[in-house]
Chain A
Amino acid sequence: MPEIKLTIAPGTFKELKKPPYATGTVQSAIGKVWQVPAELTTADKFGIFRCRTSAYRNDYKVEPGLYAIGQPGGASDIIVTANYKYSFDVVRRALKGMSAWILVLNTKGINVWCAAGKGTFGTAELIKRMQLAQLDKLSERKTIILPQLGAVGISAHEVRKATGFKVVYGPVHAKDLRAFISAGHKATKEMRTMEFPITSRMALVPMEVIPMLKKYPFFALIVLLAFGLEPSGILFKNAIGGGLPFLAFGLGSIFTGAALTPALLPFIPTRSFAVKGWITGVVGTGLLMSAFPHFNTILLGITLLFFPVASSYIALQFTGSTTFTGMSGVNKELKTSIPIYLFSVAVSVLLLIVYKIIEWRVL
């Protein structure tokens, strides 16, 4: 069989072995191009699940370049996306039954919106990929469709100046691509708006909770040491017996900050994430405390001071995952909350020392 020269190479024409997600090739004005199916395999779907739950997503990529869906020609739409395989998969799934080109930019395996913020899904990379894929020869339409959220990194007028191609911003979500194309490249207000419904928020919760749970053993160790430490050595009985409530409150703070606050986000009073997290933290800690009715006054103080604040800090991290928080707002929140966090931790540690001193009867 003669070797096929393909256009998906990061450089110019280069022989590349068939990517696992390609099913064949299509002939085009610039030679053969890898064809990909619109149907996702079980492995693709499992990949999406792993991306939602683990660091698997940090290295889940496709080769940048040009791909074909169906049997596209010179008049077919060209849709641009990132080389995060999850992004690529939702785009090809959205184009089921259609014929189109997909131009994949090298975003280092990062999704469109984040990559656009970093600039890797950017004007320079787009122009470069358009030239490498020889879009001027491939397409008669001189129009490319970009994801709307890519606009953060792409300057449409600069792309036009450099390539002669008109940039059309498509919908926010790939699932609306078909309707957008059928309507003659027109997006409705809904397609243009980034909502943040409970389903999206819950999809983000695993990656809020799991990294926190990985840090939890350090917290647990400190608690067990603090409670187990005696002048004579470390007592396991004291470590477990005394530390148990705090271990429970710690888990509670992770739950209220990383899961409950995101889930109930619009229903918790105030716009501040720090305050929202503190409110859920107070409620969560309060409920857990009822399981430990005979609590020392100093420990009670530490509990009420530290754990709601921990929940607040964890909830504030969720600003990085939302679709609507801006830098000026987060800056303002941090300016007031960081001093409060530091103060609360310092006072909690002092109180714990006081508690130990009283417990040891050294004074």
Chain B
Amino acid sequence: MKYISKVVSLKLNAEKCVGCGMCLEVCPHNVLRMEGRKAVIADLDGCMECGACMTNCAFGAITVNKGVGCAAAIINSLLYGGEPSCDCSGGKGRDSCC
């Protein structure tokens, strides 16, 4: 299953990449693969912008506008300000997303 195409903000700087393969390990959607001794983005549309690769790249080779792909979270941030987050529900006993 793929989501909206050509919008993903993931970028990989080949000059900084040392080919350790950590990004391939943490990606839950096989977005990256090794080409020779460097990682490359193989499936941009498959990326859900979770940011795991960026957080685990010790060499700062990956950037992505990390965030939640959740309509309710984004609508809430538009209405009440702040970054979109999963905290849309708040207190105990109310319906929470996760």
Contacts and interface: CB of A to CB of B under 8 A. Distances in A.
A327 B96 contact: no
A209 B12 CA distance: 39
Interface residues of A, number: 56
A84 to B, nearest CB: 9
A269 interface: no
Contacts of B80: none
A272 B1 contact: no
B42 interface: no
B3 A114 contact: no
B85 interface: yes
B89 A152 contact: no
Contact of B71 (A152, A156, A271, A316): A316
A328 interface: yes
Interface residues of B, number: 49
Contacts of A111: 98
B37 interface: no
Contacts of A326: 3, 7-8, 47-50, 67, 69
A174 interface: no
Contacts of B28: 148-149, 172, 192-194, 323
Contact of A328 (B7, B29, B56, B71): B7
Contact of A325 (B3, B52, B66, B78): B3
Given A214-B95, A324-B46, A325-B48, A151 B56 contact: yes
5 contacts: A156-B22, A320-B73, A325-B69, A326-B67, A327-B49
Interface of A: 55, 57-59, 110-111, 113-114, 116-118, 148-149, 151-157, 169, 172, 187, 189, 192-194, 196, 207, 210-211, 214, 265-266, 271-273, 316-317, 319-334, 338
The 4 A-B residue pairs with the shortest CB-CB distance in the complex, in nearest-first order: A320-B70, A327-B67, A114-B98, A329-B4
Interface of B: 1-5, 7-9, 22, 25-30, 46-52, 55-56, 58, 65-75, 78, 84-87, 89, 92-98
